[in-house]
Structure 1
Amino acid sequence: MSEPTVPSPGAEPRKRPGWKFLRDLVVIVVVALLASFLVKAYLVRSFYIPSASMENTLLIGDRVIVNELVPGVVPLRRGDVVVFQDPGGWLGPGQGDDLIKRVIGLPGDRVSCCDAQGRLSVNGHAVDEPYVVLQAGSDRVSLQDFSVTVPKGQLWVMGDNRYESADSRVHGTVPESDVVGRAFLTTWPVSRWTVLSRYGDEWDGVPDRG
C-alpha cells in the first residue's frame, strides 16, 4: 500500500479548478457588461417610432438602431434616415424630444419640388424616390411646391409619408449639430427586421453644388 504524498515544506498549495473557472466567469461578465454599456452610451441607441410620418419605411411601434458615429465621425449623406433632437417647435408637449426623417438636402444644396413628373430635384437633378407614399390619384411627392437653398450647417429633411409628415417644408431646416445619429436597422417587431436603405442608386447621382 503506497504512502500518501506529503507536500514538501514551502511548496505552494494547489489551486482549486473551480475557483479559477469562477474567477474567469466573473471577468467575462464584467467585461461584457462594460462593453455593452460603452456601445449603448457612445455607439448605438434604440429608438421607438411614434408616428406615421416615415411610413411605409417605418411603422408606428417599430424600433430602430441608430449609429451615433454619424455625423461626428461618419459624414451624413443624402438619403440617410436620421434621428435628431427637436430644434424647437416641431413637437408638442408630451411628445418627446426626438424625431426621425430622411435627409434630402445637405448644406449648400438647392432643393425644389415638383417637376412635371411630380419629382423632387436636388441641385437640378430629379430624384426618383420609390419609398415615398403618394396620395391617391397623384404622382407628386409633395403637395406643396418649394425651392430652397440649404444654409451652411443645416439639413433639409422630409418624411417618406409626405402627406402625413410635418418636416422641413413646415418647420425649416435642421442644424447638423442636432442629429443624434443614422438609423440603420429595424429590430422590432421581429417580422419587421430589416436593414434601412438610403437608396444610394438614386441619391448618388445628385451632383454637389459648386
Structure 2
Amino acid sequence: MVEPVPSNAAEDEPERREADENAKSGGRHSRRRRKPKKQRSFWVELPILIVVAFVLAFVFQYFLARVYTIPSGSMETTLHGCTGCYGDKVLVDKIVYDFSDPTPGEVVVFKGPEPWTENDAPTERSDNAVVRFFQSIGSVVGLAPPDERDFVKRIIAVGGQTVQCCDANNRVIVDGKALDEPYIHWEELRPQQQARFDPVRVPEGMVWVMGDNRNDSMDSRYQGGGGERGAVPVDNIIGKARIIVLPPGRWGGVSDHNPQAAAQPAALGMSAPSWQQGVPIGFGLIAAWPTVAGGRRLGSLVRRAAERKS
C-alpha cells in the first residue's frame, strides 16, 4: 500500500501566488528585482563632464557668441579697459550680421585688416605647452585677450558715405551733416577738440570706425595712414558687442546709439548762418558804386583846377 505523500501546500502557496502574479504582470516583478547597474564613480565621470563642457563652450563661442576682454581705454566710458586693470568682459553676438548689415552707432569687434597690422611685430607665443593651453582656455571663456589683432570700435559711417572732421562746433560730419554723439568721452587735462581730417569716401563693403574716447583711440583716422586705408572691411567684423557680463558692477547692455539718426546741418566757418556769410560781399557791392563815382568826380575837379591855373 502506497503511503500518501505529505502535502506542503501551505508552504508552496506563497511561491505559487508570486508566480501567478508574475505571469499576470508580464514579468514586471521579476524585472524589479534585477540588480541595479553599478554607477560610475565621480572621478571617472569628472573628466567626461569637463570635456563635454569645453566642447559645448567651443561650439557656442565659435558659432553663436563669445566673451571678449576689453584691453584698452579707447572705448571709455562705454567700455572700460586699461593696461593692467580688470577690463570689461563683453558678450559679442557673432550671428547678427548673418542676417543684417552693420549700421552706424553699433559697437563691433573685428579683426584688424592688413593696413592696421602690417607694421605690428609678430605675436609671440609661449614655448610652454601648458601655458599655451591655459591661454587658449582663457580666451574661450573671456579671461584672456583672444587675439592682439582684434579691435573694438564704434561704426561711424558705412560704404558709400563721406566722413570728415570737423564743423565749427567740433562735430564729425557724414554726408554734410554733423553727427549726434552723446557717447564721446573727453579725458581730463586734455583738450576737448577732435583731430581734423579731410573728407574720406568710405569704399563699398567697408565701414569707418572710431573710438568713443575720441582723443585716445587709434582708429580709422590713423590706422594704415588714414583715408580709405583706415576703413575696415565688413567681412572682418566678428560680431556686435551686446552685453557687459563682468564685472558685476558694470553689467548692462552696450549702447548702439545711431549718431546719424539726429544729425544736423554742419556749422561751417565761424558757425554763422549761410545768409550772414553773404553780408560782406553784398556790402562791398553796394559800397563800390558810390566809391567809384566819387573817385571820378574828384578826378574831374582836380583836372579843372589844373586847367584854370594854366
TM-score (norm 2): 0.56
Question: Is the 8 Å Cα contact of residues 185 and 213 (structure 2) preserved in structure 1?
Answer: yes
Q: Match of 1:196?
A: 254
Question: Per-residue CA shift, 1:41-72, capped at 9, x if unaligned?
Answer: 21101111111111111111111010101322
CA distance in structure 1 between the partners assigned to 2:182 and 2:96 by the alignment: 24
Question: Per-residue CA shift, 1:106-154, capped at 9, x if unaligned?
Answer: 10011121111111121222112111123657553x2223311100111
1:73 equivalent to 2:99? Answer: yes
Q: Which runs of 5+ in 2 are unaligned?
A: 1-9, 38-44, 82-86, 124-146, 224-229, 265-310
1:178 equivalent to 2:236? Answer: yes
- Give 1 or 2: higher strand fraction: 1
CA distance in structure 2 between the partners assigned to 1:72 and 1:90 by the alignment: 24
Question: Per-residue CA shift, 1:58-106, capped at 9, x if unaligned?
Answer: 1111110101013222321100000000112535334712000000011
Larger Rg: 2
Q: Match of 1:41?
A: 62
CA distance in structure 1 between the partners assigned to 2:70 and 2:152 by the alignment: 8
- Give 1 or 2: higher helix fraction: 2
Aligned length: 196
Q: Match of 2:78?
A: 57
1:163 equivalent to 2:215? Answer: yes
TM-score (norm 1): 0.80
After superposition, the Cα gap between the structure-2 partners of 1:109 and 1:15, relative to the gap in structure 1 and judged at 3 Å, is farther
CA distance in structure 2 between the partners assigned to 1:5 and 1:106 by the alignment: 81
Q: CA RMSD in A?
A: 3.2
After superposition, the Cα gap between the structure-2 partners of 1:156 and 1:8, relative to the gap in structure 1 and judged at 3 Å, is same
Fraction of identical pairs, as percent: 35
After superposition, the Cα gap between the structure-2 partners of 1:15 and 1:149, relative to the gap in structure 1 and judged at 3 Å, is farther
> More deviation in 1-10 or 121-130?
1-10
Q: Which runs of 5+ in 1 are unaligned?
A: 20-25
